[in-house]
Amino acid sequence: MEKYLKSALIAIAFVAFLSLAYTVFKDRSTRDIDKIVDSGRLRVITDNSTLGFKINKDSVYGFQYELIKAFAVRLGVELEIAENDDLRECVDEMLNGEYDIVAAFVPVTTEYKDKVLFTNPIQIDRQMLVQRKGDSISIIKKQYELANDSIFLPKNSPYKILINNLSNQIADTIYVLELKNTIAEVAVKMVADGIITYTICPERCAKKMIEIYPNLDISIPIGFQQSSSWVIPKNAPQLQQRLNEFLFEFVGSSEYWEIYRKYF
């Protein structure tokens, strides 16, 4: 009898474990639009910046936050948002089922093309070299002058590929030094403060930043204009369709321009 009870308890514990594991797996699996609407929650991850998502005392703001919030309102679901400044980690967490959308300026490159679906472009921009005006010895006037020099980028920045392409174009090495737990805005401030020499930043953001830091020069482009989009899992084509329909209708509207003028 005791042996039977022991076996039964083990069986019950095993079934309970499987049930719990199924619940966790089900909740963490990637979801298309129907499951998102049924759950009543849209799970989004972005970066901790004024262009992503920011909390200051009682204020919640951010360019991406306001855009994706407008989408959540139209879906009739609650927005659940998290932040991570490492884009590669954001994509990995989304693919693991923790989030439905990476709402950030993700460049449409081959690095992510095989892993995710891209929405219609959120922005078309080019990256600019950020340097200090007063550094007459180290000021860069032509792209090839970056040969054997270093550019500082946030860790796992998708724009490392731009630096590698530029290295190939000038047939010389440009070193990329990664900054942990840093976003582009912080890297720009570090250049302005003389902590680092060079970084790169999207042109629209860079123009906003030189209003704050007038000692910066942003005259040298790094690469051509490039589309940036939100990304979603490969197995969520209907979510991609709904997002594209939303962006087509929303971008260019008076509501969109009101948001845009706050951040650019």
pLDDT per position as a tens digit, 100-148: 999 999 988 777 778 899 999 999 999 999 999 976 567 899 999 999 9
Closest to 127 measured CA to CA, from 251, 220, 197: 220
pLDDT, average across residues 25-30? 58
- pLDDT at position 25 is 40
Tokens of 30: 């990637």
In sequence order, which residues have a C-beta less than 8 Å from that of residue 147 and are 6 or more positions away? Answer: 170, 172, 173, 174
Q: Which residue has tokens 């679901």? A: 77
Q: Where in the chain is the domain with CATH 3.40.190.10?
A: 7-123+228-263, 125-226
Residue 206: Cβ-neighbour burial (10 angstroms; 0-12, 13-18, 19+): buried
- Domain 7-123+228-263 CATH assignment equals 3.40.190.10: yes
The domain made up of 125-226 has a fold known as D-Maltodextrin-Binding Protein; domain 2 (3.40.190)
Asked if residue 201 lies in contact with residue 127, where contact means CB atoms within 8 angstroms, the answer is yes
Q: By percentage, how much of the chain surpasses pLDDT 90?
A: 69
Closest to 130 measured CA to CA, from 188, 213, 184, 186: 188
Which residue did the predictor score with more confidence, 93 or 59?
93
Output the average pLDDT for the chain: 87
Q: Taking 80 as the threshold, does the pLDDT of residue 256 lie above it?
A: yes
* pLDDT tier, 20 (very low <50, low <70, confident <90, very high otherwise): very low
* pLDDT tier, 67 (very low <50, low <70, confident <90, very high otherwise): very high
Q: Taking 80 as the threshold, does the pLDDT of residue 26 lie above it?
A: no
CA dihedral 43, 44, 45, 49 (to 10 degrees): -130
Task: Report phi then psi at 81, rounded to 5.
Answer: -125, 140
Q: Convert the pLDDT of each residue in 144-191 to its tens digit.
A: 999 999 999 999 898 888 899 899 999 999 999 999 988 899 999 999
- pLDDT at position 27 is 47
Q: Which residue has tokens 């204020």? A: 59
Asked if residue 27 lies in contact with residue 38, where contact means CB atoms within 8 angstroms, the answer is no
- pLDDT at position 131 is 95
